[in-house]
Amino acid sequence: MDQAEYANEGPAVQPARSASRYAVLSRATFVGGIALTVVLFAVGGWQRRWIADDGLIVLRTVRNLLAGNGPVFNEGERVETNTSTAWTYIVWFFSWLTQARLEYVVLGIAFTLSLAAVVFAMLGASRLWGGPKSALLLPAGMLVYIAIPPARDYVTSGLESCLVICWLGLLWWQLIRWSQAERVKLPGLFGLVFLAGLAPLIRPEMTLVGGLALLMIVIAPMPESKLRPIVLRGLIIAAAGLVPMGYQIWRMGYYGLPYPNTAVAKDAGGAKWHQGFVYLWDLVGPYYLWVPLLVLLVAGVVAARGKTAEPADPAGRHAASAEQSRWKAHRIREWLRSPAAVVTLVLLSGFILTVYALRVGGDFMHGRMLLAQLFLLLLPVAVVPIRLPAGGFRSATAADWSFAVVLFALLGTAGWALFAANTTAIKSGTKITSTGIVDERVYYVLNTGHDHPILAEDYLDYPRIRPMVDNIAETPNGGLLLNSPSFMFWYIAPPPQPIPAGGAGHTVYFLNLGMTSMNVPLNVRVIDQMGLAYPLAAHTERLTDGRIGHDKALYPDWVIVDTGMVDRKPWMPWYLDEKWVTQARTAMSCPATEALQISYRDPLTFERFRHNLKHALTFAKYRIDRVPKYEIERCGLVDPFPKPAPAPR
């Protein structure tokens, strides 16, 4: 069509053709923005591919599942060492399905979920802003997320971080769809509440997000149905709670605890506020993360005001609701099924979870425990709309020029992202600073000598791991491997005579559970001082000034007794005290401690299941003193080495 023909078109045709072209441009911009963000995240994550020591811990449980030993870390001991139940079973399922090497299965799943999380986040934000037909939607919040190095570090770490952000992104997208639907269909609604109900299985603290989402859905008006609203609400609650409640009952009966053993080991209910603020600044400070957060907050507010200034759809349910000046109960219920309520939900959840992370002291891994919170806070601005003046720039009013503010914010965010993506926050390398926080990926890269430590064998080059494997091979009679006080080599406490046929078995007592357990057969018991896989250590009191995430340390004297090894010198390592070992034996005879050990070591019968279910909360609260003589005092036992009576004056 030439210019003359275009000029001869009617006045109604020209704007329509212009709007069509604008819609095509908007759609292409949005799709291109998603593709660009995903590619950048994929490249960044692949450049930093690795599997953490803690990620290998999950694989030990998966190995036991595949071997038919159940969801345990050590055969014969029902201990839940993985915080995310869903992550454990997802890895197990795809490992069973593909029969591929576990490390490669995890690498593929984690990579896929991490990239999907970004897509879901941007799709949800697109619907929030009215879709690509209404404006140019450009990447914003997701650029901030993928720019910070910790986000790329945990794309393939083998930990559940990828699953958490993918679940959050999917839930966000589905909640926005539900809030905007003119007519909610029951199958979609039940799918949404089922997804929200999975929260405690994704990760325990995600229960806050899922719980608030379910509360919002249940209180909001129910869709039209032949069922009465109260019946429909009951079915919604049942659909949401069926899997998590079923698993919770099974967990309490099987493991004897109401939550994963990791929560006991790390005392997830404890408070270390000062360390928490140190951890927060460790993420926010080096990258000046507060800058893009403030910029995008302003951009989001400006974009939202521009959106509300648009002509309202007279038939729109939410527009009619927004015109109401009186906030009665039924109006509040109607508001709960609105995009504004969903935005409030994710922002409130992100804030509360941040406060919780501050309270417990954060983590020892740089940034990891704040990634989900940051992801939540960025969801509403995952993409940001730029609405060009409808009548062109010449006829634009002052209100129309709000797009310039948003455009400036996006350019500033992109500039910051380039800076943050090339910033190294922690430069200590192999050293752990006084804060106790490390760049976990760099730490293991330097300590193993592998740019991408992924396979279990890569960790054989970590100090003390290859000698451990060699020592096990050299001692067919079995024994307890204890690391030397200098952390240079292993002592082996031998089993007592007579040695049974095939040996008495090996136990390794070491902090790094993942690399240790994945480089030994399943018949080698692996336990740790902190208690992630060793309830006796997990139920000790938290050390006041211990390193965050490592602030429990059971003395090895207890382990000599627990494993039944020779407790006399010269067979026992020189740095252990025979007196302490004797006292530890007495301390372990405490009835409550014996009951705790029976709960996860006795064969699982119906009676054992019932007893564990009944006493799970009691077991969770139980604590012992790691110093044997103090534990004897606490339990009211007779000390085999009583203090001598004071001499008469």
- Mean pLDDT confidence for 130-137: 80
Q: Are 155 and 114 in contact (CB under 8 A)?
A: yes
* pLDDT at res. 293: 94
Answer yes or no: is pLDDT of 148 > 50: yes
Confidence grade of residue 316 (pLDDT, cut at 50, 70, 90): very low
Confidence grade of residue 63 (pLDDT, cut at 50, 70, 90): very high
Q: How confident is the model over 155-189, as pLDDT tens digits?
A: 999 999 999 999 999 999 999 999 998 888 889 99
* pLDDT at res. 390: 59
- Mean pLDDT confidence for 7-36: 71
* pLDDT at res. 318: 47
Answer yes or no: is pLDDT of 14 > 70: no
Cβ contacts of 57 within 8 Å, gap of 6 or more: 73, 81, 82, 513, 514, 517, 532, 533
Closest C-alpha to 349, from 206, 160, 186, 181: 206
Answer yes or no: is pLDDT of 206 > 80: yes
Is the dihedral angle over the CA atoms 309, 311, 316, 319 positive or is it negative? positive
Taking the C-alpha atoms of residue 480 and residue 506, their distance in angstroms, rounded to an integer, is: 6
* pLDDT at res. 305: 79
Answer yes or no: is pLDDT of 311 > 50: no
Answer yes or no: is pLDDT of 2 > 60: no
Kindly report which listed range (38-52, 193-207, 265-279, 523-537) carries the lowest average pLDDT score.
Answer: 265-279
For the record, the structure tokens of 171 come out as: 């839930």
Confidence grade of residue 17 (pLDDT, cut at 50, 70, 90): low
Answer yes or no: is pLDDT of 322 > 50: no
Full-model pTM: 0.91
Q: Is 536 helix (H, G, I), strand (E, B) or coil?
A: helix
CB count, 10 Å around CB of 398?
6
For the record, the structure tokens of 197 come out as: 């109900």
Look at phi and psi of residue 574 and say left if phi exceeds 0, alpha if psi is from -120 to 50, else beta.
Answer: alpha
Closest C-alpha to 609, from 255, 286, 347: 255
Confidence grade of residue 397 (pLDDT, cut at 50, 70, 90): low
Q: Which long-range contacts (CB under 8 A, 24 or more apart) does 66-70 make?
A: 66/92, 66/95, 66/96, 67/522, 69/522
* pLDDT at res. 330: 76
Confidence grade of residue 92 (pLDDT, cut at 50, 70, 90): very high
Per DSSP, 223 falls in state: P
Q: How confident is the model over 555-593, as pLDDT tens digits?
A: 999 999 999 999 998 888 888 999 999 999 999 999 999
**Please, what's the largest Cα pairwise distance for the chain?**
122
Between 222 and 69, whose confidence is greater?
Answer: 69
- Mean pLDDT confidence for 320-334: 62
Confidence grade of residue 313 (pLDDT, cut at 50, 70, 90): very low
- Mean pLDDT confidence for 344-366: 94
Q: How confident is the model over 583-642, as pLDDT tens digits?
A: 999 999 999 999 999 999 999 999 999 999 999 999 999 999 999 999 999 999 999 988
Taking the C-alpha atoms of residue 277 and residue 355, their distance in angstroms, rounded to an integer, is: 10
Determine what percent of the chain is predicted with pLDDT higher than 70. Answer: 90
Residues in the chain: 649
Q: What is the secondary structure of 443-463 as a DSSP string?
A: HHHHHH--SS--SGGGGGGST
* pLDDT at res. 325: 43
Residue in the structure block whose two tokens are 């907050």: 297
Mean model confidence pLDDT for the chain: 89
Q: How confident is the model over 456-501, as pLDDT tens digits?
A: 999 999 989 999 999 999 999 999 999 887 767 899 999 999 999 8
Q: Is 138 helix (H, G, I), strand (E, B) or coil?
A: strand
Kindly report which listed range (253-262, 267-276, 355-364, 461-470) carries the lowest average pLDDT score.
Answer: 267-276
